[in-house]
Amino acid sequence: MKISASFLAIKENIKENIKRLDNSSIDYLHVDIMDNIFVPNITKNFNEISELLQDINTLKDIHLMVSDVISYIDDYSKLNPAFITFHLEAVDNVKEVIDYIKNKNIKVGISIKPNTMVDELIDYLDLIDLVLVMSVEPGFGGQNFIDNSLDKIEKLYTLRKNNNYHYLIEIDGGINASNINKLNGVDIAVVGSYITNSDDYSKTVEELKNT
């Protein structure tokens, strides 16, 4: 399982601490973007985020928790990310948004909140590169893992196998060394506060990878 580290919970020396994540053995840097509309929280603006990520070598995994998806895609595609993921609940024109990201030569992810079922993704599963299952309500780091997300993972895993879909399965929220071994079938686990609240990021990432 790959680890995508979220820096949302870092409050001090943000740039230096993101660099510490970059220097650890994480596979992706998970960039959470919020607009105070889709979720009741807001992140830094695009120029500030670009500045923070200027010297980062790790592949970027952008998670857009926003309503005005297209304008954020226009901005964040400039960071040359590996994935841009938007929320199914945020848009009406899902296929257009998928194509909009694909046309920028960036891999496309769709995320679902804890109360959104996998069935609602059925029409898009053959078109996308990643499904991001939220295992907390999006908006804040440091919340507890919601167990129903494990059923969604199993369903996505079976659907992929039976239909030869190619999406990766990613899960985000409340993951730590005590529950990471429950995540059978997950390709990428997003981990935020468990890493960034620890003293030695590299050691914590290794612990997660070896659990």
Residues annotated as catalytic (active site), given as ranges: 32, 172
193 binds ligand DX5 per the rule CB under 6 A: yes
Give SS3 for 173.
Answer: coil
Q: Which of 1, 2, 9, 67 binds ligand DX5 (CB under 6 A)?
A: 9
Of the candidates 192, 201, 204, 208, which one interacts with ligand DX5 according to CB under 6 A?
192
Q: Cα separation of 176 and 185, whole Å?
A: 17
Paired with 107 in beta bridges are 83
Q: Residue 136 touches which of ligand DX5, Zn ion, none (CB < 5 to 8 A by kind)?
A: ligand DX5
**Closer Cβ to ligand DX5, 43 or 50, answer by number:** 43
- Total number of residues that touch ligand DX5 (CB under 6 A): 22
CB 75 to ligand DX5: min, Å: 18
Residue 129 neighbours by CB under 8 Å, 6+ apart: 83, 107, 108, 109, 166, 167, 168
Instruction: Look at residues 191, 42, 165, 43 and name the one whose alpha carbon lies nearest to residue 108.
Output: 165
66 burial via Cβ count (<10 Å: 0-12, 13-18, 19+): buried
Least Å from the CB of residue 71 to Zn ion:
19
Q: According to the binding rule CB under 6 A, does residue 87 interact with ligand DX5?
A: no
Query: Which residues of this protein are in contact with ligand DX5, per CB under 6 A?
Result: 6, 8-9, 30, 32, 63, 136, 138-143, 172-175, 190-194
